[in-house]
Amino acid sequence: MMFNQILKNKAEKNYEGGESYRLTPELELYTAVVTASLSDKYYEGSDKQMQRISKLVNQVSPEFVAKLAIYTRTQMNLRSVPLLLIVLLSKIHNGDDLVARTIEKTVLRADEIAELLMCYQLLNPSEGEKKLAKLSRQIQNGLKSAFNRFDEYQFAKYDRSNAQVQLRDALFLVHPKAKDAKQQALFDKIVKKELEVPYTWETELSALGQVISKEEKTEAFRAKWEELIFSGRVGYMALLRNLRNMLNAQVSGKAMNQVADLLADPNQVRNSKQLPFRFLSAFREIRGVENPHTQYLMSALEKAIKHSTTNIEGFDEQTSVLLACDVSGSMMTLLNPRSSLEYYDIGLLLAMLFKTRCKSVQSGIFGDKWKVINMPSDNILMSTEQLKNLSNKVGYSTNGYKVIDYLIEKNRKIDKVLFFTDMQMWNSDKRCSSLSKSWKRYKQQFPTSKLYLFDLCGYGQAPLKIAQPDVYLISGWSDRVFDVLSAIEKGTDAIDFISQVKI
């Protein structure tokens, strides 16, 4: 299988000088894009990150790039990286409709039409005022279909007057053919900038803020939030992002109960396609707010994130599990400049998600040393917060081998060992072992044990050979990593999983 191929069997050095192994181009591209924030990481700036992704796109088949773009958008719920992959694909492939078909399955929101064009403009700079004059024919064809997909509300919701590439610009560039007279009238509205202002929480609050005085603001915003909540017009993600605003506006108990019920509804969680860390961000935002409804909302968020673990397979009562979270200094880097979350948070959160599905489980953190931390399995978000507060208890190196040495010393058989890390393992004491050597010794004791490496940063390196039996690599921050894990449990792997995507 492609997943089990390694370019070089000889150990190289990672960013910390520790033992590492290079991945295949397909696997490295997969790990790079599903962990890409397109902003600076601890060991890799955003420019270097994009250059590496571009280089890897040239080393794999165009079909794999197309399938990866569709997979990251439709399964991992990412938005910027799939558009980047499409633009890079258009630079290396032509002669058929592969790019256009990829766009049809990847552009799922009206604003992604303009975003794709903006990405193309950035990666294909040209002189003069018409910066998109040489737009790829296949991108044009793909966006023609995209224009036929959305209605007036969707176009109006995302029509940004201050954007560098606006919907009107896109329409002139792409020249979509209207399906009927009604759609032609819609296209005319886009050209004339006459789209009807949509009823959304953003437009309603913005309009309210322009007409009331500062003294009236608290009561007016409370009433407006209640109107929006009871109207059912506030989407799931908007609720997550505005819980603090609602609490500060002193929204009524009846309204907050409705918000909590919606947040905790399994169907709403499933349909919202939120990345798990969105729940953690919301939890942190409201935790310190003094309001009688704060704790109720915190409980609703706990229920919500627990619903996202229902597709984790392979962890029954007989399966013994160890969860090891990397709390080294390099993990304490923000996901992006606008986020309050670090890679460290993602690792802790994913580990606590797995913990809810395991009956026989130990969890802990490692840096200079490894420390077992006993936590209840019920409260995922609160346990994540408590674990983060313990980071200074183990130091800030990345001595992952000590996790395995602990098991060897205890003579303890674990069916599945899961690491959540940036993969930059090294040994602060050079006389000691490495993860590769320790795992080899452990497998001699317990040959049926399996090791799962959850790569959270995608630097393209692994601390041991992925080609060896019972060692698996999974990447990303989405709850869809559980699907990849399920695929592995059924005898396949991440690359096979992506290769099954229909274009």
Compute mean pLDDT per 10 residues along the chain, 503 residues long, and list them. Answer: 38 58 85 70 61 93 96 88 94 94 96 93 76 84 94 89 86 94 96 86 72 67 90 90 93 96 94 87 95 96 88 76 93 80 90 88 94 89 90 87 96 96 74 82 95 87 78 81 76 82 92
The per-residue pLDDT for 2 is: 32
Three-state secondary structure call for residue 208: helix
The per-residue pLDDT for 377 is: 82
* Record: fold of 320-499: Rossmann fold (3.40.50)
The per-residue pLDDT for 20 is: 62
The per-residue pLDDT for 396 is: 86
* CA quadruple 66, 72, 78, 81: dihedral, nearest 10: -40
Three-state secondary structure call for residue 322: strand
The per-residue pLDDT for 23 is: 81
The per-residue pLDDT for 178 is: 94
Three-state secondary structure call for residue 496: helix
The per-residue pLDDT for 40 is: 45
Instruction: Give the whole-angstrom CA distance, residue 300 versus residue 261.
Output: 7
φ, ψ at 371 (rounded to 5°): -135, 125
Task: Collect all residues with Cβ–Cβ distance below 8 Å to 11 and sequence separation of at least 6.
Answer: 19, 20, 21, 436
To the question of pTM greater than 0.75 for the whole model, the response is yes
Task: Collect all residues with Cβ–Cβ distance below 8 Å to 439 and sequence separation of at least 6.
Answer: 404, 451, 464, 471
The per-residue pLDDT for 488 is: 77
* CA quadruple 113, 115, 117, 120: dihedral, nearest 10: -140
The per-residue pLDDT for 75 is: 86
Instruction: Give the whole-angstrom CA distance, residue 304 versus residue 279.
Output: 8
Helix%, strand%, coil% for the chain, nearest 5: 50, 10, 40
The per-residue pLDDT for 291 is: 96
